Amino acid sequence: MEKTDKARMVGINHIALEVDDVDAALNFYGEIFELKLRGRGPGMAFVDMGDQFINFSQQRSQAPDRLRHFGLVVDDRQRVRKALRRLGAEILPGRGLDFIDPWGNHVQVVQYRDVQFTKAEHVLRGMGLAGLDKTPAAFQELAEKGMTPD
């Protein structure tokens, strides 16, 4: 790839979600996902996602927005769907799995094997997820970008 004078995006370190109550957010998300608390501060909590994290921030700077969303990659989307149904969460119609959390945050859930997003094997191993595979379509997307193992 040709060098330019512009910086290149490498990935996302974290996402901050606005919630009304940090403890309630930890309880809600803890009913859906295995959570490992990274740390707490006044009005905030940090939850690990391997080499990334989510920051639950107890403040609203604007009204909830159903169009703005983030995509969360999981190992088992069906388990997420079952947990959301059990909680009575608002699951949006469509062929994927999108939901609105109790604070109006729109979350799109995708399965690791179906997307080009990739974690290094040592990070997956550290997360207890070694051996997650990719579908042929996801592997092809990576191959077209020269991002497959040799």
Residue among 114, 135, 139, 119 nearest 49 (CA) = 119
Is residue 124 domain-resident?
Answer: yes
Mean per-residue pLDDT of the chain: 91
Q: What's the total number of domains in the chain?
A: 1
**Which domain covers residue 84, as residue numbers?**
14-144
Give 122: exposed, middle or buried? Use CB within 10 Å, 0-12, 13-18, 19+: exposed
**pTM of the entire predicted model:** 0.89
Q: What is the pLDDT of residues 79-106, one digit of tens each?
A: 999 999 999 999 999 989 999 999 999 9
Q: What is the pLDDT of residues 20-60, one digit of tens each?
A: 999 999 999 999 999 999 999 999 999 999 899 999 999 88
Is residue 139 domain-resident?
Answer: yes
pLDDT at 1 over 70: no
Is residue 4 domain-resident?
Answer: no
Is residue 5 domain-resident?
Answer: no
**Helix, coil or strand: residue 65:** coil
Going by C-beta distance under 8 Å and a sequence separation of 6 or more, which residues neighbour residue 10? none
CATH number at residue 104: 3.10.180.10
Is residue 109 domain-resident?
Answer: yes
Q: What is the pLDDT of residues 124-138, one digit of tens each?
A: 999 999 988 899 899
Is residue 41 domain-resident?
Answer: yes
